[in-house]
Amino acid sequence: MSEDRTQDHTQDQSGDKTRGRPQDQTRDRGHVQEFFAARAAGWDRKFPGDGPAFATAVGEFGLRPGDRVLDAGCGTGRALTALRAAVGPSGTVLGADVTPQMLAAALEAGRDAEGALLVADVARLPLRDGALDAVFAAGLIAHLPDPGANLRELARVVRPGGRLALFHPIGRAALAARHGRELTPDDMRAKPNLGPLLAGSGWQMTSYADEDTRFLALAVRTP
């Protein structure tokens, strides 16, 4: 999931009475599945230029050969090739997404060759405690129904000292402009909001970049 799905609702709905709906629907599992299922087949064609941004973000993530990494909310698996290159043949790459149609598109693109694909909800991952060294999450945080609890679940499956990357191939302002909306102070991806959210969920933010061409927040799993 590397796209904020509020755009379609913003365009389809109007008036003050509906203004609160898009954000709520963005985080509802059923609506998320419905939205991405309908768009899975054409997802890669819709965003053909995102590959280099994914590769750059993975390159800054600090993965090492042999690491075990999860692409949480992997969508069509656009990060899997870069993740596999970073951890090498001795590493483990998993891609998990709640929408089967997105994983079907990943299979069609042959990205299962880079890692195992799982139909799984990040709210309840089928992984043991501390099983991973890192989690890469592209466009995921806007779709979490309970961000604090869901980030804690990601922390559960990562060893202490392991890493988290929250990524989007364009920055917050550029994304808002694309969707015809304005940034608001309560945007959870704003640095003053994201830092405390991570800190309360088992993570310590170590770097933050919000530029026109990318959003990338990195964090370390606290003991």
Tens of pLDDT, residue by residue, the chain (223 residues): 544 543 333 333 333 333 333 333 456 778 888 888 888 889 889 888 899 999 999 999 999 999 999 999 999 999 999 999 999 999 999 999 999 999 999 999 999 999 999 999 999 999 999 999 999 999 999 889 999 999 999 999 999 999 999 999 999 999 999 889 899 999 999 999 999 999 999 999 999 999 999 999 999 999 9
Q: Which residues pair with 97 in a beta bridge?
A: 119
**SS3 state at 198:** helix
Which residue do the tokens 């704003």 mark? 190
Distance (Å, whole) CA 197 – CA 67 = 26
| Other residues' Cβ atoms within 10 Å of the Cβ of residue 164 | 28
**pTM higher than 0.85:** yes
Distance (Å, whole) CA 6 – CA 113 = 32
Nearest to 73 by CA among 11, 122, 132: 122
Segment 25-34 long-range contacts (CB within 8 Å, at least 24 positions apart): 26/142, 26/143, 27/142, 27/143, 27/144, 27/145, 28/145, 29/98, 29/121, 29/123, 29/145, 32/1, 32/5, 32/98, 32/99, 32/143, 33/98, 33/99
